[in-house]
Chain A
């Protein structure tokens, strides 16, 4: 005998799908343009691309900056760096944080308490401050930036995984797996982690968005990506001096790029969360 599904037919599926597909498509376009765009545009480091500080025109859609470099070309190539750094840092945080948190939550006891304390001590610092401190100490190389962003996010993933795991720990199917003689490691890997993937995806989008902002922020204050490498945050910084004199295109276009990317990522996260936990 089948139980009746009394949900109104057109309430859940289509709306949720639309909410995730639109921002995902937007993000895909941004990623594709950053990836392929540079092959079709002028060299972003070419200081002779156009008349310095000339505004948007047919030849230079986003205008030219104070060094004579094409802004469109720089915005596009900066997308490569920003997305790559954000994705790799978030991926490292996820890959390290989720299993650690899942293990802590599943084992409980001293392991749980110990790992939780370590995570808390990281979270006690304001993240931006921590990132600034580490970059200043170790130098502002790209790997260092990735490492910093990853490290400050690991505790987030740990806590997320831990709180998702605790109800799963007592789930009958996990008890059944124990009855099948599976080891703790096997249970966490095969039963627990896949069942918390949904929350992890949501958090991943949030982290990426956050990482892009932090990266831009660090570059903006001059300890992130250095000139002449194109990066959205440093481009905004380069442009601020000229805002007051009316050359708005230097800062506005990279700013828009950050806005759209972060917006898409956050919308993906919101939709993934709305889709709910493990079905």
Chain B
């Protein structure tokens, strides 16, 4: 099957206090060209799931069972060399705190061009031109000037646009967006989310959006999966999961999110 398929993924992490069963059987499916929102609170295992898909599980983690199939190939079985090829050309990622994910010492344009050269073998000159075009496509004004700047000269929202440009530079089939709008201002969040939808749809890729922000997932994802304590407790079409949750944890999460107490009564100060 094409797209991303995670089957019964179980991961244990060795800590100072002993082994922790961080993922206890995660099942997820993202058909090509679709958006899946993976929502949950901190410690639920959603970011660890993303690390597994990127083949970047922490050293202390051991995979006890399961498969992570990207277009039919198991990422957990890939060699280091294969992983390097997969990351960037088949799966790419953007993260929270975009300024920190860009190399502070290299001009933004050069960072994007470098990827284009490595993965597509484009000549230096053409890669540089393409990098500027990509920045322009991400809605960055004066892309030529901006390409010559360093990450610290970018605002948070702009840095996330640049990070997205870098992630999409090699036309990946899957984009992992791990809390891409957390920490950005609300109005900038909306712009960045809209940009992700627009650019990824244009490229025909699929997205795994990891977020604690239910509203962000609701806005852009066809399907939503809810994680709690290392397991997916519920997944399905967004409207169904968010308006008619079957799992009690999902219900309580949504109630917290809209700040309602005792089921349906919204919290009122007055």
**Interface of A with B (CB < 8 Å)?**
1-9, 13
Contact = CB atoms under 8 A, between A and B. Distances in A.
B42 A6 contact: no
A1 B15 contact: no
A9 B58 contact: no
Contacts, number: 32
Nearest to B228: A1
A1 B46 CA distance: 14
15 contacts: A1-B41, A1-B42, A2-B43, A3-B43, A4-B15, A5-B15, A5-B16, A6-B13, A6-B61, A7-B15, A7-B60, A8-B60, A9-B14, A9-B15, A9-B60
Interface of B: 13-17, 20, 22, 41-44, 48, 58-61
Contacts of B22: 4
A10 to B, nearest CB: 9
Consensus secondary structure, chain B interface: loop
Contacts of A8: 14, 59-60
B43 A6 contact: no
Given A1-B43, A6-B58, A8-B14, 9 more contacts: A1-B41, A1-B42, A3-B43, A4-B15, A4-B43, A5-B16, A6-B13, A7-B16, A7-B60
B60 A6 contact: yes
In the complex, which of the residues B41, B43, B60 has the most CB atoms of chain A within 10 Å of its own CB atom? B60
A13 B42 CA distance: 26
Contacts of A9: 14-16, 60
Contacts of B14: 8-9
Contacts of B41: 1
B13 A3 contact: no
Contacts of B44: 1
Nearest to A5: B15
Contacts of A3: 42-43
Contacts of B16: 5, 7, 9, 13
Contacts of B15: 4-7, 9
A4 to B, nearest CB: 6
A237 to B, nearest CB: 50
A50 to B, nearest CB: 57
A4 B20 contact: yes
Contacts of A13: 16
B52 to A, nearest CB: 13
Contacts of B61: 6
Contacts of A2: 43
A12 to B, nearest CB: 9
A4 B23 CA distance: 12
Contacts of B48: 4
Contacts of A4: 13, 15, 20, 22, 43, 48
Central interface residue in A5, A6, A9, by most chain B CB within 10 Å: A6
Contacts of A7: 15-16, 60
A117 to B, nearest CB: 31
A13 B16 CA distance: 10
Nearest to B51: A6
Nearest to A3: B43
Contacts of A5: 15-17
Contacts of B20: 4
A5 B43 CA distance: 10
A-B residue pairs, 6 tightest by C-beta = A1-B43, A8-B60, A6-B58, A5-B15, A9-B16, A9-B14
Nearest to A12: B16
Nearest to B45: A4
A8 B62 CA distance: 12
A272 B122 CA distance: 49
A101 B15 CA distance: 39
A6 B41 CA distance: 17
Contacts of B43: 1-4
A5 B58 CA distance: 11
A142 to B, nearest CB: 48
Contacts of B42: 1, 3
A6 B48 CA distance: 10
Nearest to B61: A6
A3 B41 CA distance: 10
B210 to A, nearest CB: 15
B76 to A, nearest CB: 18
A220 B16 CA distance: 51
A8 B57 CA distance: 12
Contacts of B59: 8
Most buried by B among A1, A2, A3: A1
A266 to B, nearest CB: 29
